[in-house]
Amino acid sequence: MTDYSKAIFKISTSSGSGTAFYLSDRDIFVTNFHVVAGENQVAIQDSDKNRILGYVIFVNLELDIAFLRAKSKLVDVPNIGLFADIDLKSLQKIYVHGYPFGMPYTITKGVISAPNQLINGRHFIQTDAAVNPGNSGGPMLNAKGQLIAVTTSKLNQADNVGFGIPVKALVDQIEDFSPDDPFQFHVKCDSCSLLITEPTEFCPQCGHDINPVVFENYDLSLFAQFVEDALQLMGLNPILARAGKDYWEFYQGSALIRIFVFKQDYLVATSPLNRLPKGPLDDLLAYILNKDQPNKPYTLGIADNHIYLSYRVHLSDIFSPKSELIKEELSRLPQKADDLDTFFVREFQCDFAIESKDDIEDGLVYDSVFVG
């Protein structure tokens, strides 16, 4: 089978993650509505962990389909075959592509259990392939790389039962979508197919009920807004760092940065810098344990044979007179991490952490993640 990893992407939002796939001839990313619900813009991440900004341009709540578009058309992306009349049979092999549980790109294999399963008045492809949270919005392909369905869900408490939206239903949505503004948000009326751009409770053409949830944007918590203000101080678009509820993850140069709530009481920012070298560690440990080290207010520590740089404050402090100082210190941690991982390689012969991006050319991460 052709390597389709370059056409399949992880979607990250302030509430979770899912999967999308790119159709180069249409210049759109396809995913589920429930993956991007409450968001106008999301982070689109490729298999090399580079991120770009995606704009939500089309949703069909009833079908659970959404289209995204980036500012620049992607090139050198494998073509996923899109045929509305594809022949499907029970026991036909199927390959589910995606990012389950937010993990790296994965393919799981199975068969079609039922090619025309009727659930709540709609037909779905049923498969025994492993479908997990995070797979939603990804493609189910056959061995020829042709789209069979868009992965949408699995039955709770049921193993080996997953469902996909048939390719014909997706093709119908694509054919009905021809907007004047390629980046405007559109809601499709499931009754008359009108594309609606303004919030409304009823379709202005046919009167069909429009669920107001499709126009809602999720509000950030005060904590999340504080963190994202700090990210903006770095010149970072916070949307591109979102990795779930109260969780952010991004690269500064080679260093991976994670920011999250710990035990519901602490704001923590941490970065896995380096793996411990083989051989004597006396000098390295002396540096890490030095109480007068020049890395304050950040802390160096060791866990699982890795060196970490961390910063921790109590949540109550971010709403105290210390707020601006904490925001400034948080904004300076990524550059400190990027400097230190190189320092440990040079001075103590450490290897970069397994999560690092040391093999990526200087500046590439900035092009894909940072503003400008």
pLDDT single digits (tens) 47-63: 988 999 999 999 999 99
Q: Could you give the domains of the chain?
A: 6-78+171-215 (2.40.10.10), 93-167 (2.40.10.10), 222-369 (3.30.1460.10)
C-alpha triplet 240, 63, 243: angle, nearest 5°: 20
* pLDDT value for 2: 75
**Overall pTM > 0.85:** yes
DSSP of 151-167, one letter per residue? EEEE-TT-TT-EEEEEH
Residue 334: C-alpha distances to residues 14, 52, 249, 298 (Å): 20, 19, 11, 11
pLDDT single digits (tens) 164-204: 999 999 999 999 998 889 999 999 999 999 999 999 999 99
* pLDDT value for 350: 96
User: Mean pLDDT for the chain?
Assistant: 91
* pLDDT value for 158: 64
**Separation of alpha carbons 110 and 127, rounded Å:** 7
- Pure H helices in the chain: 33-36, 167-176, 222-233, 282-289, 323-348, 364-369
pLDDT single digits (tens) 219-233: 999 999 999 999 999
What parts of the chain have a pLDDT lower than 70?
Answer: 1, 154-158, 358-372
